[in-house]
């Protein structure tokens, strides 16, 4: 069900079983569902795209330097360890989607990278000992050879993500949880979660308002009630049935004021119709797109964090993990309401499986324990909330300039950089952020713990947030109109000159 964008298109890349890590694509429209390091040069904030930076250029220089010994060691144990690690990398790549992209010509035959053999030298030389196919992969990641030599095991664990992305997880969902304890695993069929009626006579005035990698989004009128709703139409694929069922059941059982309301699901002519409430101001990313023109203040940020935590506490209380908390998946409406959306990567914890290890979500918002392949629980959502707070304060998440693979590497090895201009932020905000981004998940507070944090006492009234969101929405519309006019003028000039 969730290829790159779940029910709604994204401008930030996800990790999943069907697509390799890719750079953000700003061309995907955002709709009624669906950053904080210092602002980096070359980043087009209006489009929220990473661009080539000096750091990437420097990384490329490392690949052009031949015969450079990064670390010399005559220790045979170290040499053997390197050999094992790089053989592991080769195996991981061969198991991942990358192997379809890397084919080499050997003795006039096209050979899969899984069949390549290589040895490391003594002393070990990263530039010479890595096969050219590895160097091409690493170059595209933005990670330097020196960094790999100094953090070989970390790099190998990041490559494991490609293997983990291919693992399917069975849906295991509970209905009507009376007590907040881990439920048993329950399997569902598509017929359990889909309405058998024909949706065509039930909805009228379908208007296309967006299109993503997996489906088309419409607004429509629900004829019996005359209410406006959002409808996502997605081709129903056999290979994604289990994931589709998982997403639908979790949404159906997540009824809360801070979770986008799932209305119904239908199947018509091999198309899945997912009907949800219409969030008429789009997502938080739309607000951050005009960060240079209008900025959220601390009181407004506190309100958004408070509403998000209310939704997170509800799903965590039912032992569910969202696994893709970010601005794209936080929806807004003209009432000033803030709601969680897009449960395409969500999972239900059970008595049989109380933690998870699969790597899914969006790289820049991923918690370290997930990146490293450790067992994790609901605390990964708290980390992602911290990164989203950095988005709201500075317009983008840390490391957004870098390719996703390098961003994962930096999160694992360097951690998260501090906020820019720390003096501009209150002690309460900084403490809230520090708690959310505790590296050890055991030290990270739960959603219910954070709800009582002093920073959230600063939250503005809902009406104040509503007024700001309406202003930001108008600024975004004006900016889009101006952009279209500029494009039109350029086309006209090209016609006459």
Half-sphere exposure for 462 (CA within 13 Å, toward CB) = 10
Distance of CA 77 to the CA centre of its chain: 39
Pairing of strands 216-222, 203-211: antiparallel
Cα–Cα distance, 43 to 49 (Å, whole number): 6
> What sign for the dihedral angle of Cα 100, 105, 111, 113?
negative
Task: Give, rounded to a whole angstrom, the gap between the first and last alpha carbons of the chain.
Answer: 48
| Residue recorded with tokens 């290890």 | 357
Cα–Cα distance, 205 to 331 (Å, whole number): 23
Cα–Cα distance, 417 to 449 (Å, whole number): 24
The residues facing 361 across adjacent strands are: 15
The closest of 387, 381, 259 to 314, measured between CA atoms, is 259
Q: For residue 129, indicate whether it is catalytic.
A: no
| Residue recorded with tokens 């932020």 | 425
Residue 15 main-chain phi, psi, to 5 deg: -105, 130
The closest of 248, 241, 244, 283 to 262, measured between CA atoms, is 248
| Residue recorded with tokens 């997912």 | 274
Inter-residue contact 156 to 88 (CB < 8 Å): yes
Cα–Cα distance, 398 to 251 (Å, whole number): 30
Q: Please pick, among 129, 149, 324, 401, the residue that the annotation labels catalytic.
A: 324
Which residues are catalytically annotated? 324
């Amino acid at each position: 069900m969730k290829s790159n964008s779940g029910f709604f298109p994204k401008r930030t890349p996800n990790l999943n079983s069907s697509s390799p890590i890719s750079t953000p694509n700003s061309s995907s429209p955002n709709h009624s569902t669906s950053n904080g390091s210092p602002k980096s040069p070359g980043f087009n904030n209006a489009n929220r795209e990473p661009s080539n930076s000096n750091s990437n250029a420097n990384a490329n220089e490392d690949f052009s330097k031949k015969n450079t010994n990064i670390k010399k060691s005559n220790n045979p144990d170290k040499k053997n360890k390197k050999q094992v690690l790089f053989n592991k990398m080769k195996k991981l790549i061969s198991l991942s989607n990358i192997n379809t992209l890397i084919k080499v010509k050997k003795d006039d035959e096209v050979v899969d990278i899984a069949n390549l053999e290589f040895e490391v030298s003594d002393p070990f030389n990263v530039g010479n000992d890595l096969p050219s196919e590895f160097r091409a992969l690493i170059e595209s990641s933005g990670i330097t050879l020196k960094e790999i030599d100094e953090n070989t095991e970390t790099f190998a664990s990041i490559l494991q993500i490609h293997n983990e992305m291919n693992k399917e997880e069975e849906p295991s969902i509970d209905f009507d949880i009376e007590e907040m304890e881990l439920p048993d695993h329950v399997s569902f069929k598509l017929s359990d979660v889909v309405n058998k009626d024909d949706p065509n006579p039930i909805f009228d005035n379908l208007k296309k308002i967006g299109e993503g990698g997996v489906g088309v989004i419409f607004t429509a009128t629900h004829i019996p009630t005359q209410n406006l709703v959002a409808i996502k139409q997605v081709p129903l694929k056999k290979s994604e049935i289990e994931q589709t069922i998982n997403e639908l059941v979790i949404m159906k059982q997540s009824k809360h004021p801070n979770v986008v309301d799932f209305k119904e699901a239908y199947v018509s002519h091999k198309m899945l119709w997912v009907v949800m409430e219409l969030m008429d101001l789009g997502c938080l990313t739309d607000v951050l797109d005009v960060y240079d023109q209008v900025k959220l203040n601390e009181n407004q940020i506190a309100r958004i964090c408070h509403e998000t935590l209310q939704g997170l506490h509800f799903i965590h209380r039912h032992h569910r993990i969202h696994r893709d908390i970010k601005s794209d998946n936080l929806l807004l409406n003209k009432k000033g309401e803030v709601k969680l959306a897009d449960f395409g990567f969500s999972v239900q914890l059970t008595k049989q499986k109380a933690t998870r290890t699969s790597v899914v979500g969006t790289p820049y918002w991923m918690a370290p324990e997930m990146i490293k392949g450790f067992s994790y629980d609901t605390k990964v959502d708290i980390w992602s909330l911290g990164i989203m707070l950095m988005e709201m304060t500075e317009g983008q998440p840390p490391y957004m300039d870098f390719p996703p693979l390098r961003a994962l590497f930096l999160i694992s090895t360097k951690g998260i950089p501090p906020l820019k201009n720390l003096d501009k932020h209150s002690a309460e905000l900084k403490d809230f952020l520090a708690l959310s981004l505790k590296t050890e998940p055991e030290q990270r507070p739960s959603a219910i713990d954070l709800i009582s944090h002093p920073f959230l006492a600063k939250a503005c009234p809902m009406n104040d947030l509503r007024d700001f969101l309406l202003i930001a929405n108008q600024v975004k519309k004006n900016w889009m109109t101006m952009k279209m006019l500029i494009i039109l003028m350029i086309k006209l000039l090209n016609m006459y000159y």
